[in-house]
């Protein structure tokens, strides 16, 4: 949508863009198309959108896929989106907090739409009892900045997971998600992919050498993140204080999580238990980024330093290692020894 159209609709529905809800509207249609293109959509896809706003992205999605469920937390925005998207019978606008709706419920919504399918569209397959866990869906959204990390953790960690996530997020968050272990690393040269500037695993200006975080470990364990393109703040109204990025995360059989699930984990009764153990270790490890990992783990696990030292040594890590210096594989190896 163009900025004049957005302002007119905001006036019509008495909407004042909220910083609390991160309401910044894309005013460049090319950006919306880049998001859609990055999702590699087809006519059989089911899509969950977070924060549809005035429905610009929702319209593009509804024209390409079988079913869209768009979750909106703002009542005025919900009313506007419901009216503006009334002609799209394969798009359901849901009033609610995305962080409070289980993924399984979202899948049920996709397969039990409020509206009957539009002519020419194949109706979604009925969702039977016990089904849904393996039902493929994608998440495509211009995410509100305030809930970016929580939404990414929700869809990468909670079952059933989407097969693909394509979201617009703050540039800094995208770079954190795609970070590599520090220190002294440099972002790779941009590569060209599918007609869109693609920068896999960059650290970005001003963040070089910061390395890994809990968020980057979590996302990279469950999926493969990639920055598709950077988006300047001038592409939004109201203009945010920071630039953005289109982030794509593939959650497929090649992820470290999927590999562990297939082969099982030595020393752990189940993959789920190991996952909980792994992220307990990661959280304790990152409890103080400036301290050596050995100190954090010894204090947090109430474990003698010599035992932590031995685990670090067996994992091939320095006794002076800091949490941001470890790769996801390093964390997995260490968790199996603690």
pLDDT tens profile 146-170: 999 999 999 999 999 999 999 999 9
The reported pLDDT for the residue numbered 185 is 36
The reported pLDDT for the residue numbered 274 is 87
Q: Specify whether the CB–CB gap between 186 and 171 falls below 8 A.
A: no
The reported pLDDT for the residue numbered 138 is 98
> What's the token pair of residue 168?
């617009």
Euclidean distance between CA atoms 176 and 218, whole angstroms: 11
112 is in an annotated binding site: no
Euclidean distance between CA atoms 150 and 65, whole angstroms: 26
255: which DSSP letter? S
26 is in an annotated binding site: yes
Q: What is the CATH number of domain 264-335?
A: 1.10.8.100
For helices 214-222 and 271-285, the axis angle rounded to 10 degrees is 160
Fold classification of 3-252 (topology level): Rossmann fold (3.40.50)
Identical fold between 3-252 and 264-335: no
Place of tokens 């493969």: 224
Query: How many of the other CB atoms lie within 10 Å of CB of 42?
Result: 9
Instruction: Tell me the pTM.
Output: 0.84
Q: Specify whether the CB–CB gap between 165 and 152 falls below 8 A.
A: yes
Euclidean distance between CA atoms 111 and 108, whole angstroms: 5
> What's the token pair of residue 72?
């909106």
The reported pLDDT for the residue numbered 257 is 72
Euclidean distance between CA atoms 198 and 181, whole angstroms: 20
97 is in an annotated binding site: yes
Listed as ranges, residues in the chain with pLDDT below 50 are 116-132, 184-208, 267-269
> What's the token pair of residue 31?
């950006």
Euclidean distance between CA atoms 326 and 318, whole angstroms: 10
Return the closest-CA partner of residue 71 out of 133, 177, 10, 143.
Answer: 143
Q: Quick one: residue 195, left, alpha or beta (phi over 0 = left, psi -120 to 50 = alpha)? A: left
24 is in an annotated binding site: yes
The reported pLDDT for the residue numbered 256 is 74
Q: By CB neighbour count within 10 A (0-12 exposed, 13-18 middle, 19+ buried), where does 172 fall?
A: middle
Domain ranges of the chain: 3-252, 264-335
71 is in an annotated binding site: no
Distances (CA, A) of 185 to 79, 188, 319, 330: 48, 9, 21, 17
The reported pLDDT for the residue numbered 246 is 98
> What's the token pair of residue 293?
């990992």
Q: Specify whether the CB–CB gap between 145 and 170 falls below 8 A.
A: yes
The reported pLDDT for the residue numbered 265 is 52
Q: Specify whether the CB–CB gap between 107 and 135 falls below 8 A.
A: yes
51 is in an annotated binding site: yes
Give the three-class secondary structure for 197: strand
- Please give the full DSSP string across 301-321, using - where no structure is assigned: HT--HHHHHHHHHHTT--TT-
């Amino acid at each position: 949508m163009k900025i004049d159209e957005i302002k007119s609709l905001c006036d019509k529905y008495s909407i004042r863009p909220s910083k609390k809800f991160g309401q910044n509207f894309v005013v460049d249609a090319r950006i919306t198309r880049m998001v859609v293109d990055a999702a590699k959509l087809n006519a059989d896809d089911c899509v969950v959108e977070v924060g549809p706003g005035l429905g610009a992205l929702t319209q593009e999605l509804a024209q390409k896929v079988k079913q869209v469920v768009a979750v909106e937390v703002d009542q005025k925005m919900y009313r506007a989106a419901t009216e503006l998207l009334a002609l799209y019978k394969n798009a359901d606008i849901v009033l609610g907090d995305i962080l409070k709706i289980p993924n399984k419920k979202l899948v049920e919504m996709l397969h039990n739409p409020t509206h009957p399918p539009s002519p020419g569209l194949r109706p979604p397959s009925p969702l039977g009892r016990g089904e849904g866990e393996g039902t493929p869906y994608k998440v495509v959204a211009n995410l509100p900045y305030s809930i970016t990390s929580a939404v990414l953790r929700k869809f990468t960690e909670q079952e059933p997971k989407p097969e693909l996530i394509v979201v617009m997020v703050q540039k800094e968050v995208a770079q954190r998600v795609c970070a590599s272990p520090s220190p002294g690393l440099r972002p790779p040269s941009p590569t060209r992919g599918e007609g869109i500037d693609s920068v896999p695993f960059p650290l970005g200006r001003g963040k070089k050498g910061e390395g890994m975080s809990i968020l980057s470990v979590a996302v990279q364990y469950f999926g493969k993140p990639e920055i598709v393109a950077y988006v300047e703040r001038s592409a939004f109204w109201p203009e945010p204080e920071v630039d953005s990025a289109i982030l794509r995360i593939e959650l497929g059989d090649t992820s470290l999580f999927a590999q562990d699930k297939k082969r099982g984990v030595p020393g752990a009764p189940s993959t789920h238990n190991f996952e909980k153990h792994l992220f307990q270790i990661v959280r304790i490890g990152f409890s103080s980024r400036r301290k050596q990992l050995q100190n954090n783990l010894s204090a947090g696990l109430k474990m003698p330093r010599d035992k932590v030292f031995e685990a670090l040594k067996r994992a091939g890590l320095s006794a002076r290692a800091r949490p941001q210096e470890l790769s996801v594989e390093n964390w997995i190896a260490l968790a199996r020894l603690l």
